[in-house]
Amino acid sequence: MAFIVKSSTLNREKTGLEEEWVEFQPGVEFLIRGMGHNFVQVGIQAYAEDQERVRNRFLAGDVSALAKGKTMVDINTTVLGTLVLADWKGVKLETGEDLEYAPDTAKAIVSDPDNIKLVEWLIAEATRITKEAQERLAERLGKSSSTSAGKKSGATKPRSNAQSPSDSE
């Protein structure tokens, strides 16, 4: 029996099912990863582990460890700017020049309080993308495949009506 792979599986342009280009305003699009995207989750875990190391050093009496710590705001803007926001099209400087995507530039943009509407929108879109990916997955898992449809193939153990020792006491 052969293992069959759909050719569409090999022709994916995206790195994952949890990212998509979304229009922010006419002519401006952002490539957004869902909050459940592997890159985002691994990044969040890495920051949490770094913070735990800083905390442990501080609790052991090393006050200088705090210099390596990050605030939650810094961690959140780093995750949003460098992991959730993956690319853009149509972003321009005030001079009219195109602004090329770079993770540090993205972090600077989402860190600026003047861009709070963009930040709120990015979070909402990243959440939506993950929710939709989870719904697609649940739908796929809920459907029977041709290889699993039908009667059970394994032997089943008949249930016994006998009481266990703890039941009779």
- List pLDDT tens digits, range 109-128: 999 999 999 999 999 999 99
Specify the long-range contacts of residues 120-128, CB closer than 8 Å, at least 24 apart: 121/24, 122/30, 122/32, 122/80, 122/84, 122/85, 123/80, 123/84, 125/22, 125/30, 125/32, 126/32, 126/33, 126/34, 126/35, 126/40, 126/84, 127/34, 127/35
Q: What is the mean pLDDT of residues 48-62?
A: 92
Q: Is residue 152 pLDDT above 80, yes or no?
A: no
When comparing pLDDT for 4 and 158, which is higher?
4
What DSSP character marks residue 154? S
Instruction: State pTM to two decimals.
Output: 0.68
Strand partners of residue 87: 31
* pLDDT, tens digit (0-9, with 9 covering 90-100), for 5-34: 666 555 544 445 689 999 999 999 999 999
Do the Cβ atoms of 133 and 34 come closer than 8 Å? yes
Q: Locate the domains of the chain by residue range.
A: 16-138
pLDDT, greater one: 167 or 127: 127
With a cut of 50, say whether residue 4 has pLDDT above it.
yes
